[in-house]
Amino acid sequence: ASFLPLCFRTSLVTPLIFSLLLQPPLTQLSAVTQPNIVLLMADDLGIGDVGCYGNDTIRTPNIDRLAKEGVKLTQHIAAAPLCTPSRAAFLTGRYPLRSGMDAINNYRVIFWNGGSGGLPPNETTFAKILQQQGYSTGLIGKWHQGVNCESRNDHCHHPLNHGFDYFYGMPFTLVSDCQPTETPEMDRAFRRKLWVYTQMIGLVTLTAALGRLTGLISVRWKTLTCLAGFSLLFFISWFSSYGFVRYWNCIMMRNHEVTEQPMVTDRTTSLILRESVSFIERNKHKPFLLFLSFLHSHTPLLTTEKFLGRSSHGLYGDNVEEMDWMVGQVLDTIDKEGLKNTTLVYFASDHGGWLERHEGKRQLGGWNGKYKGGKAMGGWEGGIRVPGIFRWPGVLPASKVIDEPTSLMDIYPTVVHLAGGVLPQDRVIDGRDLMPVLQGTVEHSEHEFLFHYCGIHLHAVRWHQKNSGATWKAHYMTPVFHPPGAGACYDRGFCPCFGEGVTHHDPPLLFDLSRDPSEAKPLSADTEPLFDTVIRKIGRAIEEHRRTLTPVPEQLSLYNVVWKPWLQPCCGIFPFCWCDKEGDN
């Protein structure tokens, strides 16, 4: 009578034991549940340049498809209005002020591959944490976070020192100097001054020499020799850097190796796309992080021939449409490899479009829609409000729109959480995990306040008053537009952060973005009953925020941004730096 139950129990237990023996270890199981992460970041793309954000003349079907299949953020905010500090915040989840990547002067970005400033080695990027969690990590495209610290090969700021297993792209950023046919862009006004000073010194030297030869001026030959030597040294001191921008800054690297110096711009787009597709195909059998950092749509707007003349917005529109095509190629690769449902895809821009960038009647910068201001403006929405789209089929809802304040810094805790990592406990992380708000398990973003810096100067603060739905924004400094009312600083090419180029506001300009997203009508104590209450609340938040700041070395100090020959990446024997390792020869 007891035999049948015993057999029955044995028949149940035996398969269970075998299944336990065959079960993979927990670490392997957790690795399977880790999603692949593909981060797509455009360069200088305005929020008004994308179809799903209201543009009906530039065609962006692939970016629009991401929004249709995923979640679109309408209040996605960059932590800075320029490349270097914004990307530093993106990579670290921290305001760039905390890592020393915001400027105290007018040099607000990394200026040379041969400079000594950059993302400090003691900063922990999300790539480093995902690398520790077993991810294959790759960066394809633009870096712009520095290369070396003390010697040509120490690579202290290099992507491979910040958690990326593989790097292919530009350690710097695109500038018009990279195209021999374009007008030089880098430090253009300063270069003009140096040319004038050189000519003045040369003219003085020549006049003195002619005066000495004709007997009109009594001057010793030794003095003339010293003056001529000084003139030559002055010229060499600046022309050795600014005269060779294309060789020093416009280079391509694969890991630590310089592969093109100068870069061959005609094939850059195809190589970046090829490398991106190859990285996905090589790593499809394990979790991977791909950060595809586009060179589009930064000047000189490198665009292949098949896209030229296709848009109704000139070269800039052509360039954006080509980038959208590249997005489509990456998405097609993900689909082809069967990775669509296990891959989180994110698309954004590093900051707003560059309004002042034009050559004659050619507009070469982006459009920021209804938002005031643009690139380099730390407070106005047009400089910091950017596209933000997430897609993860089966996990995130499709065609969802979220109008909550979110930040590029939020990517850091979001991807760390998804990878099963732990946020650093020894530093302030300003980003917040976005998964609850993306999935709809919570109604509001965790951000109550966001601080909008221009360099190290606090220009504006945003307060999301969750109980009322209002989003207040107080401006303490705003740039002086020229011509007045033009909406940009066309006289300078960039709006400054401090000095005579800004206006201080006391009391601050106050807007309710939920009613006035274009920041057209500032409120006052007469027109807004809550004016004083809001200003006091934001003032207390600023005090609390400043108590969390600690002094750090200034990575964009004048010493760190100047070109240093001994730090210059070189594929030959310096100064004979030229090579093309991607070509047939």
Residue 388 corresponds to which tokens in the numbers above?
């933000």
Task: Tell me the C-alpha distance between 487 and 63, whole Å.
Answer: 28
Pairing of strands 470-479, 288-293: unpaired
Task: Tell me the C-alpha distance between 190 and 238, whole Å.
Answer: 11
Strand ranges for 264-350 from DSSP E: 288-293, 343-349
Q: Which of 95, 111, 92 is nearest to 560 (CA)?
A: 111
- Among 83, 178, 250, 579, the active-site one is 83
Residue 293 corresponds to which tokens in the numbers above?
């950092």
250 included as an active-site residue: no
Element spanning 107, H or E: none
Task: Tell me the C-alpha distance between 220 and 67, whole Å.
Answer: 75
Element spanning 459, H or E: strand 457-465
Partners of 289 in the beta sheet?
37, 137
Task: Tell me the C-alpha distance between 487 and 482, whole Å.
Answer: 8
505 included as an active-site residue: no
Q: What is the largest CA-CA distance in the chain?
A: 134
Q: Which residue has the tokens 């059998």?
A: 285
Three-state secondary structure call for residue 485: coil
Residue 451 C-alpha from the chain's centroid: 18
Q: How far is CA 224 from CA 198, 207, 217, 228, 236, in A?
A: 16, 10, 11, 6, 18
Partners of 579 in the beta sheet?
261
Three-state secondary structure call for residue 17: helix
- Among 7, 52, 76, 144, the active-site one is 144
Task: Tell me the C-alpha distance between 376 and 382, whole Å.
Answer: 10
| Residue 366 half-sphere exposure toward CB, CA atoms < 13 A | 40
Task: Tell me the C-alpha distance between 446 and 439, whole Å.
Answer: 14
Q: Work out the number of other CB atoms within 10 angstroms of the CB of residue 489.
A: 22
Angular region, 100: left φ>0, alpha ψ -120 to 50, beta rest: left
Query: Where does residue 520 rank: exposed (0-12), middle (13-18), buried (19+ CB within 10 A)?
Result: exposed
| Residue 539 half-sphere exposure toward CB, CA atoms < 13 A | 10
Element spanning 565, H or E: none
Dihedral, CA of residue 290, residue 295, residue 297 and residue 303, to nearest 10: -120
Q: 82 and 411 in contact (C-beta within 8 Å)?
A: no
Residues tagged active-site: 83, 144
